Amino acid sequence: MKILFSPSETKFRGGENKKIDKKDFIFPELFDKRIEAINEYQRFIDNASNEQLAKLFGTKKQDVIDYYKGKLLDKKIMKVVERYDGVAFDYLKYKELKDKEKEYIDKNVMIFSNLFGPVNAGDFGLPDYKLKQGEKVGELALEKFYNENFTKKIDEYLKGEEIIDLRAGFYEKFYKLNLPYLTMKFIKDKKVVSHWAKAYRGIILNLMAKNNIQSIDELMNMEVENLLISEIKKQKHKTEIIYEIK
């Protein structure tokens, strides 16, 4: 069982005073490619105007812009899943999980970082960086860069696994699945919801860890409070569960 998950733009600060190392990340053989993207990000920051940084970071707050300037690789690092501070991660409640449940997340969840690309939740080495979703770093479109350089390795990694795709649609640009997988849509009053979709992705991932879900059949039989399966759609490799929020 492997679960694909989105990152969040907001992150917790702090961490440990350690340097990142290729052993800290999945696909160490492609670590040089990650560094290539990070170096391009650093070069852009070092030479960008304040207006360009505001666009890159997605904020006009000067104190935030000033905080995220400087040398990225000199910043403190943290376990990937503990770095993120968005809606889905609030509802995942990782820190409240038992050790065995955390291990489930660490090993089975792949998060698509806007800067570092595909990383496992349990990888250790993510600094606190700022990058607005979809923003180019100079001329570099990171979603295209990671799609071109990491797709083959991700395909190999996922082969033979049951796959749950809990990513927002944008992150399909980093990696498009060409293997059988299950995804979810959340509707309320016949409308697709955005905020609650993020929340329920976190809730479902939390329950999968607590119930040690190892197959799609087990997931389909897992009860989620306030959710009712209204439809299941199948198209080529994709099976989509449509949940109605009560």
Answering whether pTM is above 0.75, one says yes
Q: Which H/E stretch holds residue 231?
A: strand 227-235
Average pLDDT over residues 16-33: 96
Helices (H), 22-61: 31-47, 50-57
Q: Do 205 and 105 meet the contact criterion of CB atoms below 8 Å apart?
A: yes
Torsion of CA 219, 170, 10, 107, to 10 degrees: 40
How does DSSP classify residue 59?
A: -
Torsion of CA 233, 235, 239, 243, to 10 degrees: -30
Q: What is the mean pLDDT of the chain?
A: 96
Residue type, 120: N
pLDDT at 194 over 90: no
Residues 12 and 238: their CA atoms lie apart, in Å, by 34
Q: What is the pLDDT of residues 150-181, one digit of tens each?
A: 999 999 999 999 999 999 999 999 999 999 99
Q: Which H/E stretch holds residue 219?
A: helix 216-220
Contacts of 205 (CB under 8 A, 6+ apart): 3, 5, 88, 92, 105, 109, 166
Q: Which two tokens stand for residue 114?
A: 């806007």
The pLDDT score that the predictor gives to residue 57 is 97
| C-alpha of 239 from chain center | 21
pLDDT at 108 over 90: yes
Residue type, 90: D
